[in-house]
Amino acid sequence: MLHREGHTLVGACISRTSMPGMRRLRRLMAACKAPLLGRPDLTQPTVQALLADTRPDLAVSWFWTRRIPPEVIALAPQGGLNVHPSLLPRHRGPDPYFWTILNGETRTGVTVHKITSHYDEGPVVLQRAVDVADGLDAWQLARRLDRPSLEALRDALDGARRGTLSLDGVAQHEPDATAAPRPSDDDCELRWDAPVASVLRRVRAASPEPGAFTAFGDATVVVLKAHASAWKARGFDPGQVLFRDEGLTVVCADGAVVIDAARGDDLDAVVYGEAVGALFPGVARV
């Protein structure tokens, strides 16, 4: 993409070499006589020396999964650009998808920012806002942001090449900053004394990995998909598990949810519909 738009590729580092398009990328980099490194350790002096030999003007990162050392960014006179899947400074960190969905936010986006020594804190070069469709899980939201993130990166580079956009960026407004760490077990544990809407957001925020979970007897069940029941569950306590005609149902603070897909905590195969009942042995049908 960048090559076709007039940019010169002097090297590439790939964190996931099994991704689609690798064969085409290998051919392109060979045609450019530029190195292509698969999962390189950017802290190694030999790797840094190889990248220095490419004499880059700008380092560009698109969902690189590890920290890029300052020594690597310093190789490029114009520094480095990264794309982050949130509207920075909101949701700085490795998992903005989880927190966007858990908080019930209806608007998110992508941010092209300068790479600095602190994660996701560099000046903002360009942003694109995106609506969060109702019912998305974390994986679906990530996919929803793929194309806007590529388009934003392309627009930033094209604007810089044409002289219509500065890569210096604008400093982030620190009072608006929020963190988006990887969710802990406490973040992923389902709270049945919460409202239905809150329970369903937690399920979607953690799906498909690490998965929202609940204890049942001595076992742990990971809930991957659920929906609100029309049943009002009057007279039942939050956390009660029942098997009804609509499926395996758990009572919440203001109603109930039906579990549509789940698995055991030991990475068992996912089960769907009525088969979910096998993960809750002894539950009465009502």
Residue finishing a domain among 143, 176, 209: 176
Give the pLDDT of residue 16.
Answer: 82
Residues 248 and 107 in one domain: no
Task: Output phi, psi for 275, to 5 deg.
Answer: -65, -20
Give the pLDDT of residue 5.
Answer: 62
Residues 130 and 207 in one domain: no
Residues 172 and 205 in one domain: no
Residue finishing a domain among 121, 149, 176: 176
Secondary structure of residue 255 in the 3-state scheme: strand
Average pLDDT score over residue span 261-273? 88
Residues 210 and 264 in one domain: yes
Tokens of 96: 């903005």
Tokens of 52: 């220095």
pLDDT, tens digit, 9 for 90 and up, residues 67-78? 899 999 999 999
Average pLDDT score over residue span 173-192? 97
245 in any annotated domain: yes
Alpha carbon distance 249, 253 (integer Å): 13
Give the pLDDT of residue 256.
Answer: 97
Residues 167 and 195 in one domain: no
Please report which residue ranges of the chain form alpha helices under DSSP H.
Answer: 22-31, 45-53, 70-73, 96-102, 138-162, 185-188, 196-205
Q: Where is pLDDT greater, at 7 or 47?
A: 47
Tell me the HSE value of 241 on the side-chain side, using a 13 A CA sphere: 15
Give the pLDDT of residue 65.
Answer: 79
33 in any annotated domain: yes
CB burial of 249-279 (b: ≥16 within 10 Å; e: otherwise) equals bbbbbebbbbbbbbbbeeeeebbeeeebbeb
Total number of domains in the chain: 2
143 in any annotated domain: yes
The chain-wide mean pLDDT, for the chain, equals 93
2 in any annotated domain: no
Residues 135 and 235 in one domain: no
- Closest C-alpha to 107, from 125, 93, 127, 77: 127
Per-residue pLDDT band at 1 (split at 50, 70, 90): low
Residues 171 and 37 in one domain: yes
285 in any annotated domain: no
Average pLDDT score over residue span 14-18? 85
CATH classification of the domain holding 231: 3.10.25.10
Is the pLDDT assigned to residue 173 strictly greater than 70? yes
Sorted by sequence, the CB contacts under 8 Å of residue 154 that are 6+ apart come out as 1, 2, 5
- Bridge partners, residue 219, by sequence: 216
Alpha carbon distance 101, 107 (integer Å): 10
CB burial of 57-73 (b: ≥16 within 10 Å; e: otherwise) equals ebbbbeebeeebeeebb
Give the pLDDT of residue 267.
Answer: 66
Give the pLDDT of residue 198.
Answer: 98
pLDDT, tens digit, 9 for 90 and up, residues 80-91? 999 999 999 999
Query: Are the beta carbons of 82 and 115 closer than 8 angstroms?
Result: yes
Residues 121 and 25 in one domain: yes
Give the pLDDT of residue 178.
Answer: 98
State pTM to two decimals: 0.92
Tokens of 243: 């098997």
284 in any annotated domain: no
- In residues, how long is the chain? 286
The amino acid at residue 259 is I
Secondary structure of residue 42 in the 3-state scheme: coil
- Bridge partners, residue 105, by sequence: none
Domain limits for position 216: 185-279
Give the pLDDT of residue 213.
Answer: 97
- Closest C-alpha to 285, from 255, 237, 249, 254: 249
CB burial of 209-232 (b: ≥16 within 10 Å; e: otherwise) equals ebbbbbebeeeebbbbbbeebebe
Residues 205 and 104 in one domain: no
31 in any annotated domain: yes
Per-residue pLDDT band at 4 (split at 50, 70, 90): low
pLDDT, tens digit, 9 for 90 and up, residues 112-143? 999 998 989 999 999 999 999 999 999 999 99
274 in any annotated domain: yes
Residues 195 and 123 in one domain: no
Residues 143 and 45 in one domain: yes
- Closest C-alpha to 121, from 183, 39, 56, 180: 180
pLDDT, tens digit, 9 for 90 and up, residues 207-244? 999 999 999 988 999 999 999 999 999 999 999 999 99
Is the pLDDT assigned to residue 266 strictly greater than 90? no
Residues 50 and 152 in one domain: yes
* Count of other CB atoms within 10 angstroms of residue 84: 27
Give the pLDDT of residue 285.
Answer: 79
Residue finishing a domain among 122, 148, 176: 176
CATH classification of the domain holding 107: 3.40.50.170
Is the pLDDT assigned to residue 273 strictly greater than 60? yes
Give the pLDDT of residue 2.
Answer: 54
